[in-house]
Structure 1
């Protein structure tokens, strides 16, 4: 296996690891906060709405958008680390 193939394999392994972690975070926020822990979170309010309802309706979407920006930042660092950045 050539060095280029080893780099590509390591790159995708690390990419999948980060992607899985971010998806777990999104799942925990959307399913956990919006459905599983809704009753406990509804004891608190945010903007006049119960917190469990807020997470189910808007919070998980906001977290998803933030995770997109986090993923872009992580991938830019990963691209530089493995020499796939656009600065060639």
Structure 2
């Protein structure tokens, strides 16, 4: 790969993972959260829709952040722009 193409490839891979993770974020926040109201059974004394909205979404958000950080760490090392060489 020519040297001039490395930054373009790096950013295209970065933007692709950002797009995928934003799509997951959108689905969890708006689509899954919208349909969670129909889950009308009790879960530890609270409606299950409450748990989905307050706990499940936060877990997914933390997983998204963790995955993006680990993915970008590997990508940075692959393209030689890692901060901790």
Q: TM-score range by the shorter chain?
A: 0.7 to 0.9
- In 2, the alpha carbon distance for the partners of 1:56 and 1:80 equals 36
Distance 1:78 1:11 in 2: 8
Gaps of at least 5 residues in structure 2 are none
CA deviation vs aligned residue, 1:42-87 (integer Å, no higher than 9, x gap): 1454433223222222322221122111100010111122121231
The 1-side partners of 2:42 and 2:9 are apart by 44
TM-score (norm 1): 0.77
Distance in 2 (CA, whole Å) between partners of 1:8 and 1:69 is 24
Indicate conservation of the 8 Å contact 1:33/1:52, yes or no: no
Alignment coverage as a number of residue pairs: 83
What TM-score do the two structures reach when normalised by structure 2?
0.79
Gaps of 5+ in 1: none
Question: Does residue 67 of structure 2 align to residue 70 of structure 1?
Answer: yes
